[in-house]
Structure 1
């Protein structure tokens, strides 16, 4: 959530920053709400001062033996009006907060202007040693015509037909070598992030309540992208506290949400958390894109990275996290590039985002495999997640999240980039310890 104090102090700057994201902020609505808030607050302060004055007057009158009945009558009326004002203030503050919950974060000053992905800026690219390029500078790994991951994967255990029978479109079932390779990727990613990059491995719930989703920014904006949970055929989906329940779309929700309503000692920062979980997305806004294969599924796995840091270090942490995701791709030996997203292409809660895109030979294009974002205090303010400095009052933390990586898309990248002319797939050396030393996946009848 945006800082209400920033809105009050520099509204024009906030309006200009949101315009870069294609968001038109309703200035008139904000000024109306702010005028109501100020009016209630001024009346409250005046009435509190009057209450103190009347209380003092009553004492003075009684000490002199004079009639204090009129002052006492006035003092008895004040609490009721103060209660009314308290309710009025809560109402206007609630209306403001509900509205601000739908407003995205402000882009950082280093974020390029732009409307969509065509305005993103490539920062760098990495190619495995010895890989050639075409005239456009794109990777050219093969001398033969590349197969896509569906054609490669089906003889290795990629089974869409059974998944469609069980669940419908945009689901997959993996068997044999494919299932093992999928598991190997997740284990490798977890081990890399925990043993080399200092993240704490976590196992988190896959089902969360609405408060958690409001805190991390999925609600209310992305409600249609979530899967809701129905318990035991009940008409209403709710936990013991009466809240709706949802399947997580990313473990960013649970990892970042773990610090909701907490105050962390400054010396305990940063917190570096990682988890491997399934993720569930309705893909309500996908518009029928990527219907073939594993790129856009209702259920997929991801190894997530989250850092919870001091505000002064969050942009250093962002660069480090991008490097942590890059390390996975380099160990897997697949070509990738790092792209800085423009203001109009960033996610709702992000102040700055880098995407990592892998090269898919069969599609002859780059495809996103990781997105790493600094949310600054946007999530922390919604979650009331703060740190306690050595001196001074508690202040809001900064939160960062990134894929380290999406396991299914990493599987696609490995299949397509390590395929051989005969349809086999060379297992990257980094994964062989998790595959029992297996060096190559060979097609075979299922």
Structure 2
């Protein structure tokens, strides 16, 4: 959510930020509504003050035996006018809130301009793609040949964009989640959390999925939402709270199922596990001091990179352009892992600094130790990593010509010492 005072103070800057997002100017309409609402509030307060004075005058006049009919009529008229103003204030406020709730966060100054992924900027690479002596296969070809990845039975019981993993691949997914959690908790100080996978409207609004992106989510018959990522419940753990400055940063991680409708993705990645309705992910969330959120963003990205490095998976880091960032982000790094079967880098993690955007929606603040007044926290989130896509990357990068797949050394302790998958 945006700060109305900031828009009043720098309307042109606000519209320039929206323009970088590919949006039309909104400040004029916002400021018109804001001015009308504040005028209604001011008149309401003035009438209330005068009405109180007249009401006291009625008592005084009665005690003196003076007529009060005219004063009472004026008080009644004021009551009617107050009812109109209260309705105007409520209507204008709702319209203003609806506009602000639908506008994305503004990009940070260092975010490059661009309309889509073609405007993203490569920051660095790690690792070199392996040279295969054979034509590498895609993950679904390997998984089906091993008899451990079943798409037809998944479609039978659930429909398209679901997968059944069996045997060693099922164990590898579980191993990956445990390995990632252990790394983030022991090396980076994140606290492991098991959050609810069903959340209410206020929670999904707080992290920005509502009201604009409801079509991307699954909703239950009792009005709850299946989480699209653990970012949603983890970030909202501090909703409606005032934290002590000394408690910051709060760092949480969770390994959860995630559910997305993949609205608008028809025809994209229809084979395999890249784009699923249900998938597992290890999420990283930080609730940070505003002065330290940029450093926290770099730290979080490094934590996600560490998983890829430990697994020996080549990747690149992309700074997303203004037009390709998510709704709540002010700056985002995407980690893209190399997939030999596709001969392409594909996103495996997205790490974002949301600034105070989500904090305003959630009403999360902190109490500075040495100054008066409360301040908004900054929130950050990142994949550490998408577990299914990590499994995909392992299958493709560690495949052998005979169809077997080597198990990366860091995962072997989690898989009972298994060194390869296959005969």
Which category describes the TM-score, using the shorter chain as reference length? over 0.9
1:32-431 matched pairs, under 5 angstroms: 32-51=32-51, 54=54, 67=66, 69=68, 74-75=74-75, 78=78, 81-127=81-127, 131=128, 139-154=129-144, 155=146, 157-230=148-221, 238=222, 244-390=223-369, 391-431=371-411
Q: 1:66 Cα shift?
A: 8.5
Q: CA deviation at 1:416?
A: 0.8
**SS of alignment partner, residue 292 of structure 1:** coil
Q: Which deviates the most, 74-83 or 17-26?
A: 74-83
CA distance in 2 between partners of 1:8 and 1:55 (Å)? 37
SS at structure 2 position matched to 1:227? coil
Q: Contact 1:146/1:416 (CA < 8 Å) preserved in 2?
A: yes
> Displacement of 1:12 after TM fit?
1.2
Distance 1:397 1:350 in 2: 14
Q: Which moved more, 1:221-230 or 1:53-62?
A: 53-62
Let me know the Cα RMSD of the aligned residues.
Answer: 2.0
Write out per-residue CA displacement over residues 87-135 of structure 1, whole angstroms, 9 at most, x where no aligned residue.
32122111111221111111111111111101100000100xxx4xxxx
8 Å Cα contact 1:248/1:279 also seen in 2: yes
Structure 2 match to 1:135: none
TM-score normalized by the length of structure 1: 0.89
Aligned residues: 420
Q: Identify which range, 203-212 or 37-46, moves more after superposition.
A: 37-46
Q: Is the Cα contact below 8 Å between 1:156 and 1:178 reproduced in 2?
A: no
Q: Return the alpha-carbon distance in structure 1 between the equivalents of residues 27 and 381 of structure 2.
A: 31
Q: 2: distance between equivalents of 1:14 and 1:203?
A: 38
Instruction: Please give the alpha-carbon distance, in whole angstroms, between the structure 2 residues aligned to 1:92 and 1:359.
Output: 51
Q: Is the 8 A contact 1:156 1:177 kept in 2?
A: no
Offset at residue 75 of structure 1 (A): 4.9
Residues 426-435 or 155-164, more deviating? 155-164
Kindly tell me: are residues 50 and 427 of structure 1, through their superposed partners in 2, closer, same or farther at Cα, counting changes over 3 Å? same
- CA distance in structure 1 between the partners assigned to 2:264 and 2:19 by the alignment: 22
- 1:53 Cα shift? 5.0
Residue-by-residue CA offset, 1:16-63 (whole Å, 9 max, x unaligned):
101001011334532431232132023123224434654676788799
Name the CA distance, whole Å, in 1 between partners of 2:339 and 2:254: 26
My pick for the range that moved more, 14-23 or 40-49, is: 40-49
Aligned to 1:136: none
Q: Deviations over 1:182-230 (max 9, x none)?
A: 1110110011111111111111111111121111111111111111112
Aligned residue for 1:145, secondary structure, equals coil
Asked whether the 8 Å contact 1:193–1:199 carries over to 2, the reply is: yes
Query: 2-side partners of 1:328 and 1:35: how far apart?
Result: 51
Partners in 1 of 2:283 and 2:80 — Cα distance?
Answer: 52
Aligned equivalents of 1:211 and 1:225: distance in 2? 17
Q: Distance in 2 between matches of 1:37 and 1:75?
A: 23
The alignment partner of 1:41 has SS state of: helix
SS of 1:258's equivalent in the other structure is helix
Secondary structure of the structure 2 residue equivalent to 1:296:
coil
Query: For 2:323, what is the secondary structure of its paired residue?
Result: helix
CA contact (8 A) 2:329 2:352 kept: yes
TM-score, normalised relative to structure 2:
0.94
